[in-house]
Amino acid sequence: MDERPVLSLRKVAPDATRAAVMCVDIINGFCTVGPLASPRVQGIVKPIISLFKAAHKHGIENFVLMQDTHDPEAIEFDAYPPHCVRDTAESETAPELLKLPFADRFIVLPKNSISSAYNTGLDAWLDAHPDVNTFIVVGDCTDLCTYQLAMHLRLRANAAQQSGVRVIIPENCVQTYDTPVKIATKLDIPAHDGDLLHAIFLHNMASNGIEVVGKLR
């Protein structure tokens, strides 16, 4: 983890017009309010803002935000507490992102599960932008929605024999939550070691051809 390289955007995306920043679930319900809000996730907002600014300065114009916007009766609520229901403050984009002067360029794609692939419009966006071949993935949670998004991008390209496609994760811009055993036992929910699962899922993604770097600048 400590030896992941630090790369420049110029090296990663020499042609900025063919790159996209894919951001998943940097919304209030995972950062600041609601049952799934986590200070660990809020902690990556600042480096994500820095990356957005650097990417925009480099000339990247594609910013795609995948965001939980759940149906009030979402089946996912059988596994997780109700969260990020559509038309609530929890489902809104983090204010730090909205304050960026180029926020009007964001493409926001709502999702009703941990997957960014199903019933979201993501594949339609990808089909409409065939020249984009470098995807920088940021957000939360490393082992859930971030994993699903990055793996979909990687496996979609693999299945279509699309050579030259790169999926890149800057480790300082992804994170997951932590539920210690003591708290999990009290609440009768599964324990969730944030540090362990963060590392394991980054390792898994790297094993599948996703480039895990320390950070991009």
Mean pLDDT of 67-86: 96
144 belongs to a structural domain: yes
Cβ proximity of 210 and 45 under 8 Å = no
- 140 SS3 class: strand
167 belongs to a structural domain: yes
Structural domain for 156, as ranges: 6-216
- Chain segment 192-214, per-residue pLDDT in tens: 999 999 999 999 999 999 999 99
24 belongs to a structural domain: yes
1 belongs to a structural domain: no
Cβ proximity of 141 and 176 under 8 Å = yes
pTM attached to this predicted model: 0.96
Peptide bond into 141 cis (omega under 30): yes
50 belongs to a structural domain: yes
- Chain segment 89-113, per-residue pLDDT in tens: 999 999 999 999 999 999 999 999 9
47 belongs to a structural domain: yes
Cβ proximity of 166 and 134 under 8 Å = yes
CATH code (residue 34): 3.40.50.850
116 belongs to a structural domain: yes
- Chain segment 146-195, per-residue pLDDT in tens: 999 999 999 999 999 999 999 999 999 999 999 999 999 998 889 999 99
Domains in the chain: how many in total?
1
190 belongs to a structural domain: yes
- Chain segment 161-174, per-residue pLDDT in tens: 999 999 999 999 99
